[in-house]
Amino acid sequence: MLKNIRFIAVTISLLFLSVTASQAVVQLVDIESTGVRNDLDNNITQGVVASGSGLPGDFVVTMCSTFSDGNNLFLEPTPGDWLGLDSGECGGSEPCILGIFGTFVESADSSDITCRWTDQTSVFAAGTFRYAGVDPDNPIIAVACNTGAGGLVVAPSVDTEPGSAVIGISAIGASLNLLSQDIVGFLFAQGVSSAAGQIVIEFGESLEFPHGGPTGEIVLAGTNADWRACTIALRMEPTTIPTLSEWGMLVTAAVMMLIGVYFAVRRRRAINP
């Protein structure tokens, strides 16, 4: 009887371990943000934001925003080799532009990332999310964006996978002296306005999706200005830990073997008492 109880306890422990392992997720390890304005000259074409610190091999998502009259374009950040996730104008009269880029970093230390764009402006805002556990070969599950002029700032729904991390990011831009905007409660938020009347606000959120499926629309804010909002889903790196079904097969095989041994011994004792 005691042996049977021990076997059941070991089996339950293995099943619990497998369930715990199957719920691992991409982990957010650091957040950075910055905002820059130049009231003397309307001549900014780049801005610097920190990568954050963590471990070698982390995946850094950099989100850059600045003013635009509809002609501005983001260039690839420096230094490093960056994957362009999205770059585009805000809705309405397009007074802002948002660029999103990702890369794997070799150093555990934080370093400077330079966002660059083509037209001279007087404002710049940016943020970075640094993640551990991202698939090194295929890090991106999905990217989708919405634009609008006033109203609710809504990042679209995407289909994601178990263990993923999902970013909701938005840029809001205006050439107004007064901007009505509530950006309380986000992981980072940067608002910059210049004497030239240029305004850009950037804010972002990171969510875990251990079970995958549709993310649903992410309502980020409400505004009276033009905006762009994006959803990015990051894929979890492959794991060699057995899944629940694999553990189930192993436990079932062990149980069948023990049952076979039990009846063989019982039959032998019955024949040779």
Q: What is the tens place of the pLDDT at every residue in 96-144? A: 999 999 999 999 999 999 999 999 999 999 999 999 999 999 999 999 9
User: What pLDDT score was predicted for residue 264?
Assistant: 60
Find the Cα–Cα–Cα–Cα dihedral 167, 33, 145, 208, rounded to 10°.
0
Q: In Å, how far are 78, 83, 100, 108 from 111, measured between CA atoms? A: 11, 18, 18, 9
| 4 φ/ψ angles, rounded to the nearest 5 degrees | -65, -40
User: What pLDDT score was predicted for residue 251?
Assistant: 61
User: What pLDDT score was predicted for residue 17?
Assistant: 44
Asked if residue 165 lies in contact with residue 26, where contact means CB atoms within 8 angstroms, the answer is yes
User: What pLDDT score was predicted for residue 4?
Assistant: 47
Which structure tokens are listed for 169?
């990011």
Q: In Å, how far are 66, 149, 171, 214, 252 from 89, measured between CA atoms? A: 10, 12, 9, 26, 56
User: What pLDDT score was predicted for residue 269?
Assistant: 63
Helix axes 244-271, 2-22, angle to 10 degrees: 170
- The whole-number mean pLDDT for each consecutive block of 10 residues of the chain, a chain of 273 residues, reads 46 45 75 83 88 96 92 94 95 91 96 95 94 95 94 93 94 66 62 82 90 89 88 88 55 62 60 61
The dihedral region occupied by 5, where left means phi > 0, alpha psi between -120 and 50, and beta the remainder, is alpha
Spatial CA neighbour of 171 closest among 240, 264, 100: 100
Q: In Å, how far are 4, 28, 35, 134, 155 from 158, measured between CA atoms? A: 48, 19, 29, 18, 9
User: What pLDDT score was predicted for residue 220?
Assistant: 82
